[in-house]
A = this chain, B = another copy of it.
């Protein structure tokens, strides 16, 4: 391990082999390795004690073999990783101190060594639940905010439709929902949309694609905007659903914009300034389901829907 200092047990969730289809609990194993709680001499990294891990669609995606310019599959035999919240145990980096709370991509393990903390955010507001920083105040919440405020730019009175609303975006827009439906239970998506949006849709936050997008296109209004974000399990790369109605974007003058939330991370403090007060005032109600203990993470992941509501609490310290 190097670095000297205390070496302790480190429980980890390991991917056994790359999976096909929906991941099962038995595709993962909880093993114990050891870790030094001191960063290596000369390193600018961190040692972090993990507090919360996100049970999220893209962890499931990375358990499969896939190709993507921004992400890679997990390495079988190694600890899985994903967005999480942690506390700095030791730091070789000038911007982080022991005791700092942070969020970013950490291992599915009790302690993680972070070699390059440059992509981590420090948590300055701990008066809200820390678990929020892997959800509504983390990447998924930021995605929702960016898609709506920076990409789609809604105007007063416009109609907004969010597919996959039980996930990231739905969390941020819970308040103000006028109607909702479960698209898996609707035989006719077009009819469901016409029922919920008799006047049509101005803004579509695209999380699903395929047939859903086709149905939405039929119901978009003139000058509509479609914000399309990534990193979700709906990108079933093996069998992409075709889109038939794309020509509609022409006569309806629709703008469709793909975006990746990472590009907007420099605006994270603007996001917090907007959302934190709404959480404190109860204007945004955020629900999470917290599973206690890293050893229960495989079951939580295998049993999860493709939503961002679930958290594993690794340590309550």
Residues on A facing B (Cβ under 8 Å): 68-70, 209, 213, 228-230, 235, 240, 242-260, 263
Contact = CB atoms under 8 A, between A and B. Distances in A.
9 contacts: A69-B251, A228-B249, A228-B250, A240-B244, A248-B258, A252-B258, A253-B258, A253-B259, A254-B257
Contacts of A248: 258
A242 B213 CA distance: 12
Contact of A209 (B228, B246, B254, B263): B246
A259 B256 CA distance: 12
Given A249-B256, A253-B263, A255-B256, 9 more contacts: A68-B251, A209-B247, A228-B249, A228-B250, A242-B242, A242-B244, A246-B246, A253-B258, A253-B259
Nearest to A213: B246
Contacts of A257: 249, 253-256
A246 B240 CA distance: 9
Contacts of A235: 247
The 8 closest A-B pairs by CB, nearest first: A242-B242, A249-B258, A230-B250, A250-B258, A256-B256, A243-B243, A255-B257, A254-B258
Which of the listed residues A70, A250, A253, A259 has the most CB atoms from chain B within 10 Å of its own CB?
A250
Q: How many copies does the complex hold?
A: 2
A306 B257 CA distance: 30
Given A209-B246, A244-B240, A70 B258 contact: no
Which of the listed residues A209, A230, A243, A247 has the most CB atoms from chain B within 10 Å of its own CB?
A247
Nearest to A151: B255
B253 A260 contact: yes
A254 B256 CA distance: 8
Contacts of A256: 249, 255-257
A53 B253 CA distance: 28
A69 B251 CA distance: 8
A242 B69 CA distance: 24
A258 B263 contact: no
Contacts of A209: 246-247
Nearest to A263: B253
Nearest to A236: B247
Contacts of A263: 253
Contacts of A229: 250
A252 B69 CA distance: 9
A200 to B, nearest CB: 13
Nearest to A247: B235
Contacts of A230: 247, 250-251
Contacts of A69: 251
A186 to B, nearest CB: 21
Nearest to A255: B257
Contacts of A260: 250-251, 253
Contact of A70 (B228, B249, B251): B251
A250 B245 contact: no
A240 B250 CA distance: 14
Contacts of A245: 240
